[in-house]
Chains A and B, each alone.
Chain A
Amino acid sequence: MPDAFRMLSEQDVETIDRAARRLLEEVGIRVRDEGFRDRLEKAGAETDAAAQIVRFPAGWLDQTLSQAPSAFTLHARDGADDVSLGSGRVAFGNGGRVFRILDRDGTYRGTTLADVARTAALVDRLERLRFYIVACHPENVPAEDEVLNGFHQALLFTSKHVMGGCDSLASLEKIRALAVLLAGSEEAFRKAPFLSIITNPISPLTLDPETLKMLQYCGTHGIPATCAPAPIAGATAPATLGGTLSQLHAEALAGVAVTQALVPGAKVLYGAVATAMDLRKMDFTLGSVEGAMMNAAAVQLARRYGLPIYASAGLTEAKEANFQAGFEKAVSSLMVGMAGADFIHLAAGMLDSGNTISLEQYVIDDECLGMVHRVLDGIGTDDDALGVDVVKQVGPGGNFVMEDHTIDHMMEEFFYPDLMVRSNFDVWDQGGRPTTLSRARDKLDDILPGTPAAKIEPAQRDEIRKRFPRLLDVTW
């Protein structure tokens, strides 16, 4: 196995950690709610009612963080696709908050609830995407019903672990009710939670009361969650990468610490979605090289506290599947993957600074992640891999093509792309000059030819419809 890629030296990890701890101790986090401030003060925080600030004295910070579990499982309903956080394995998946989709004919349109269903079904069928995040905003659904409808379509069409953003405690309660119905009982769902929740602080250094209510609810009911900072270097965080990392680290630790203070032992992921502003024209960039660097560094910062990380990678500013998309995605997926992050989201399907998706892009990214995983699997050096015996056997001037050693190793040793073009030029030319994109389309038609079967039994679907009459059905 290769050594983890280290964006930061061990010394730099400590330096950034110290800066973050100073921020938490001296500046603190704004919490505009007296009730939560009082509870945190009773638990050991320092508070300032006039400034509406919660500060984290070093001892208390360490004590709360030590209660956070270093390892837990994001369950899949099929039992086969569980994601084990803290196990050393890297799991990639897609991301959410998208509002635009690039269709096959090249047109861009607003995303709908049907696109949630389609992307869930697609991710369910793509091997390297280990979880599904509710992929897009459905423009045809009333705002107050959006979250429940999104999770419902996700659970209908994928049995992989589902994660999604949530706007309010009211929506969260409905989601849990749906999950408990599916699981059969509260206990069954708590034991093996198959969905989790994404919340965010507001950079710089602000935790909104509704977010705290949701984190508390999740902790209380055994629902894994993250409170993931998304600071923008140059806008909502310092214009230096070290500065943004210090602030991100403070915000991420605050999210974990506050959740532990409210519900000791709550399953929380340290969150990191580092981004940058293009300061020339003030364009927000989710997919800059600096973002990739910071997201790789964040993995080390989370590891310093033994916390599983909700990391970010695979981002691009490109509007379509082109060279820019390929390069930008590769740079970040490789760096964050090689850093060893447990859970890497945003890594499939996305274009255009996280605003747009295309179905083909999920298929292409799944393949690219296969290449990344090959790098993570490393170079074997056991006796069999070193092959001294087979070289002796073949001898000088021989060849290895038909050796048992070759046949035994060929499938595991190499990543074989389905989409990327590899062939003799004439073969390619005569084959109609396929491209990665054209092959992705073919694969898409192959794996998702029509309406897939739902992953919820008809009887349960009826129960769900009765219990949640505001749920919408989707036409494929």
Chain B
Amino acid sequence: MTDFEALQEAVGKGDVATAKTETEKGLSGGAGAQSILDDGLIAAMKVVGDRFSAGKIFVPQMLRSAKTMQACVDLLRPHFDAEAAASRGTMIIGSVKGDLHDIGKNLVSMMMGGAGFEIVDLGVDVPPERYVQKARETEADLLGMSALLATTMTSMKDTISALHKAGLRKKLKVMVGGAPVTERYAREIKADAYAPDAGSAVSEAKKLLGIE
């Protein structure tokens, strides 16, 4: 049985260099990519996740571990038969039309990426048409919209309409968030989910997709 203790420790500490070395060691030592992923990386992130939930570590540390894990997953990628083994799902994300603020969107992207999702980041000032186009192009499971300004929030409703018109609304789940966005507003515009912060965005996304 391969011992991934050193790899897990490196992921826990956010030590990218050591984690990558350990990953390479594992591969050259004969451990399969899937095994390294499941028993090394995902197991390590589970411990990180538990420590975060217990309040022993916080978001910045968790993100650092997630980044470390991603670096190792990138090393494993060529060894996988199917891309799908390495990703929990794909999320299109952007700040809506007229809104240039992106820290919230970036935080969600980092947290979702850390949780193993693939992120397609459309940036800021994204009009409904661009969301629709990207939804058409990709096999995205989720579409996330962020707004800081109350004046730009209405674009969320427009984007959902545009998805309907394009026959794409049922293809993916829509999540919304941002300072002026509320649970009530999300229900009003018939979004699938609302998250008050980046951490809950991850749990809401997992709930929507029915995954752990």
Decide whether A and B are members of one complex. yes
By beta carbon, the residue of chain A nearest B185 is A110
A143 vs B180: C-alpha distance when bound (angstroms): 14
Chief secondary structure at chain A's binding surface: loop
Q: How far is the CB of B93 from chain A (nearest CB, A)?
A: 16
A225 vs B103: C-alpha distance when bound (angstroms): 25
A48 vs B174: C-alpha distance when bound (angstroms): 39
Binds A, one of B81-89, B113-121, B146-154: B146-154
* Chain B stretch 155-186: residues in CB contact (< 8 A) with chain A: 179-180, 182, 184
A236 vs B151: C-alpha distance when bound (angstroms): 22
Binds B, one of A1-9, A33-41, A177-185, A279-287: A279-287
Q: Does B75 sit within 8 A of A, measured CB to CB?
A: no
* Chain A stretch 119-138: residues in CB contact (< 8 A) with chain B: 137
Chief secondary structure at chain B's binding surface: loop
| Max count, chain B CB within 10 A of own CB: residue among A110, A206, A282 | A282
Q: Does A235 sit within 8 A of B, measured CB to CB?
A: yes
A458 vs B179: C-alpha distance when bound (angstroms): 38
CB-contact partner of B103 in A100, A167, A235, A279, under 8 A: A235
CB-contact partner of B151 in A146, A208, A234, under 8 A: A146
Q: Does B98 sit within 8 A of A, measured CB to CB?
A: yes
Q: Does B197 sit within 8 A of A, measured CB to CB?
A: yes
A143 vs B100: C-alpha distance when bound (angstroms): 16
Let me know if A279 and B60 touch, CB within 8 A. Answer: yes
Q: Does B6 sit within 8 A of A, measured CB to CB?
A: no
Let me know if A137 and B197 touch, CB within 8 A. Answer: no
* Chain A stretch 133-162: residues in CB contact (< 8 A) with chain B: 137, 139, 143, 146
Contacts A202-B100, A208-B100 hold; do A279 and B150 have CB atoms under 8 A apart?
Answer: no
Let me know if B198 and A282 touch, CB within 8 A. Answer: yes
Q: Does B32 sit within 8 A of A, measured CB to CB?
A: no
By beta carbon, the residue of chain A nearest B110 is A282
Residues of B within 8 A of A355 (CB): 179-180
A258 vs B38: C-alpha distance when bound (angstroms): 54
Q: Does B13 sit within 8 A of A, measured CB to CB?
A: no
Let me know if B151 and A137 touch, CB within 8 A. Answer: yes
Let me know if A167 and B197 touch, CB within 8 A. Answer: no
CB-contact partner of B58 in A100, A110, A236, A279, under 8 A: A279
Let me know if A282 and B101 touch, CB within 8 A. Answer: no
CB-contact partner of A167 in B59, B107, B151, under 8 A: B151
Residues of A within 8 A of B184 (CB): 110
Q: Does A99 sit within 8 A of B, measured CB to CB?
A: yes
Q: How far is the CB of A390 from chain B (nearest CB, A)?
A: 57
Let me know if A282 and B59 touch, CB within 8 A. Answer: yes
CB-contact partner of A281 in B58, B101, B103, B150, under 8 A: B58
Contacts A202-B100, A235-B107, A236-B103 hold; do A282 and B152 have CB atoms under 8 A apart?
Answer: no
Known: A110-B182, A280-B55. 5 other contacts (CB 8 A): A143-B151, A279-B59, A282-B197, A355-B179, A355-B180
Listed A/B pairs (23) with beta-carbon separation below 8 Å = A97-B150, A99-B180, A110-B184, A139-B150, A143-B151, A143-B152, A167-B98, A167-B149, A167-B151, A202-B100, A232-B103, A235-B103, A235-B107, A279-B59, A280-B58, A281-B58, A281-B59, A281-B197, A281-B199, A282-B59, A282-B198, A283-B197, A355-B180
**6 tightest A-B contacts by CB?**
A137-B150, A280-B58, A143-B151, A99-B180, A282-B59, A236-B103
